[in-house]
Amino acid sequence: MNKNIIFSFLVLLVVLASSAWYLLRGSDTPVDVPLSSIATSTPSVASSTPKPPKMVLVGESNVPPPTIVIPASGVNTFEGEGTVSTISDLIARGGDQICTITTNTSDVESKGMVYISGKKVRGIFTSKVIRSNIVIDSSMIQRDGFVYTWSSMMSQGFKAPVSVVAKNQVIPISDTYSFEYDQGIEYRCNNWTVDASFFELPTWVNFSTAK
C-alpha cells in the first residue's frame, strides 16, 4: 500500500471539510461561489478517458462549471464496484485507476473523480454544504513529493510536502472537525491509459506553502 497516496486523499478531503466548516461557522449569507453539476446518469463508454475539467475559481465567470463524468459500469471495472470501503482499501488495489468516489457526512455531500498512476494522484470533487446549499469545487494533485490543493472558495492554492502531510493518520480541521483515512467511501473504478497531462499543475493558481 502506498501510504503517501492515501494521505494525499486526506489532504483533498481536508480542503472540502475546511471549506464546509468555514461556511458553517459563519452566517447563512450566500457566498458568491460558482456552482457545478454532476452527471448522475451512466453515459456511453467514450473512446478515450474524459479530461479532468478546469476548476472554476472566484472571478472566472467566463469558465463554465465542470461536469464530472461517471465511468460506465461493466467495462474493466474492479470486483466490488459500488460498495462501501475505505480510501486505504481502494488504493491498495494498485495499478492505474480512474475512480468515482462518494463520501457523505451530516454536513457535506461529496462526489468526485480520482485518477491514480503510481505515486501521482489527481482528484476533482464537487461538495454540497447541506445547511447553506452552497456547492464547492475542490481539486488536488500529488506529484514530485508535494501535495497541491485548491478550491473555488479561495483565489490561491496550497502545497505541502507529502512527508509533512503523512505525519498524522488523523488530520484535525478545527476543534470540531477531523478526517480519518478509514472513513468509508463508495467507489467505482475502471482501468485507464495514463495521460501525463492529467497531473500537470494549473497555471492559473498561485500556491502558497502550508504552515
Q: What percent of the chain has pLDDT over 90?
A: 0
- Sequence letter at residue 24: L
Residue 56 pLDDT > 50 = no
CB 130 within 8 Å of CB 122: no
Find residue 124's DSSP bridge partners. Answer: 113, 139
Domains and CATH numbers, the chain: 3-209 (2.50.20)
User: For the residues of 77-140, what is the DSSP string, one character each?
Assistant: BPTTTT-EEEHHHHHHT-SSEEEEEEEE-SSEEEEEEEEEETTEEEEEEEEEETTTTEEEEEEE
Residues 128-173: tens digit of each pLDDT: 888 888 888 888 888 898 888 888 777 778 887 777 666 644 333 3
pLDDT in tens, 168-198: 443 333 333 334 445 677 878 888 888 888 8
Q: Is the pTM of this model over 0.85?
A: no
What is the predicted pLDDT for the residue at 135?
82
State which amino acid sits at residue 33.
V
Query: For 63-86, how does the pLDDT look when each residue is reduced to its tens digit (9 = 90+)?
Result: 333 344 444 433 344 444 556 666
How many residues are there in the chain? 211
